[in-house]
Structure 1
């Protein structure tokens, strides 16, 4: 292999590694297969134009901001996720409240997270993802009976084959999976 070939191969491989570290799963509205790049601080990924834009851009929808906040949270950028959620106009939204609960729980503020989850449940009792996260919060607090209640509710919403049921069930069996 020539030096040029090695450099090209390294660049190509480097591109794959960079691509893998710049995208995180987005779990919005039941579609767990979509990926969204995580932008630098102060920017948000705009799905419409398919690039990072300034966070203050007026054309970014609440849905886009909510999805991006969750993307930030899933990549461990919890404070930024909460800041992004603060920019959503409709704060009384089941997904916004769920993702706010997720980020605060991951920051170690479990009781605060639970309060957001419960508000989300009131708005949409059939939202399986919030039930999963609420159940995980109960597992963290050692309240397995309440976690199992959420698991039973998830079963009525989407059965035992859905990701939310399987993830919460795994967390109940082995809390280290949270």
Structure 2
């Protein structure tokens, strides 16, 4: 596909979404995660523990994986990639697609592209239908100039029923020259 076709497809897809809420990365909301005390007060792999009313070390906390995942996602959105990686490392579910995917995202954004790609591949080995990993991998491929490989991921997302998802839209935008997450 040439650039004009991609831009036309992007415009058509965006028009088809008019009136539908956009989906943020990793959830079903229209906005990135709200900043909490995890990103505004905690440092060095610590997360906010509301019960204790203070920052706690993620590894030594009794916080569950869902709370730690939400904190890691918030940190990644805030550009605190090293802290996100530390918090993800504290989770019990180390081999889940969602953890591997965000390890890929945080490493890629921190400048470790190859390591990020390895995590995306592992996320897809854990769950080949994890569309967000396909989208992030595709965006990384676009960043590397590997457009045809990125298109393969876009088609995989579509073929797995994700054509109306944030994952598809974000990768399509990335292929159209717009900045993806």
- Aligned-residue CA RMSD (Å): 2.5
The structure-2 alpha-carbon separation of the partners of 1:144 and 1:80, relative to structure 1 and needing over 3 Å to count, comes to same
2:102 & 2:57 partners in 1: Cα distance?
Answer: 18
1:169 & 1:83 partners in 2: Cα distance?
Answer: 31
Structure with greater contact order relative to length (CA < 8 Å, sep ≥ 6): 2
Query: What is the aligned partner in structure 2 of residue 165 from structure 1?
Result: 168
The structure-2 alpha-carbon separation of the partners of 1:106 and 1:169, relative to structure 1 and needing over 3 Å to count, comes to same
* Equivalent residue in structure 1 for 2:28, among 19, 31, 36: 31
Q: Report the alpha carbon displacement of residue 156 of structure 1 after superposing the two structures with TM.
A: 2.0
For the residue of structure 2 that corresponds to 1:81, the secondary structure is helix
Query: What is the aligned partner in structure 1 of residue 131 from structure 2?
Result: 128
Q: Report the alpha carbon displacement of residue 58 of structure 1 after superposing the two structures with TM.
A: 3.4
The structure-2 alpha-carbon separation of the partners of 1:150 and 1:52, relative to structure 1 and needing over 3 Å to count, comes to farther
Query: What is the aligned partner in structure 1 of residue 158 from structure 2?
Result: 155
2:53 & 2:137 partners in 1: Cα distance?
Answer: 33
1:152 & 1:108 partners in 2: Cα distance?
Answer: 27
Query: What is the aligned partner in structure 1 of residue 10 from structure 2?
Result: none
Whether the 8 Å contact between 1:117 and 1:134 is mirrored in structure 2 is: yes
1:104 & 1:81 partners in 2: Cα distance?
Answer: 9
1:126 & 1:51 partners in 2: Cα distance?
Answer: 38
Per the normalisation by structure 2, the TM-score is: 0.73
**Which structure would you say has the larger Rg?**
1
1:132 & 1:38 partners in 2: Cα distance?
Answer: 29
Task: Provide structure 1 residue ranges, at least 5 long, that are not aligned to the other structure.
Answer: 1-24
1:33 & 1:50 partners in 2: Cα distance?
Answer: 30
Residue correspondence of structure 1 range 94-109 to structure 2 within 5 A: 94-109=97-112
For the residue of structure 1 that corresponds to 2:93, the secondary structure is coil
Per the normalisation by structure 1, the TM-score is: 0.75
Query: What is the aligned partner in structure 1 of residue 57 from structure 2?
Result: 55
Paired residues, number: 152
The structure-2 alpha-carbon separation of the partners of 1:149 and 1:110, relative to structure 1 and needing over 3 Å to count, comes to same
Q: Report the alpha carbon displacement of residue 44 of structure 1 after superposing the two structures with TM.
A: 1.6
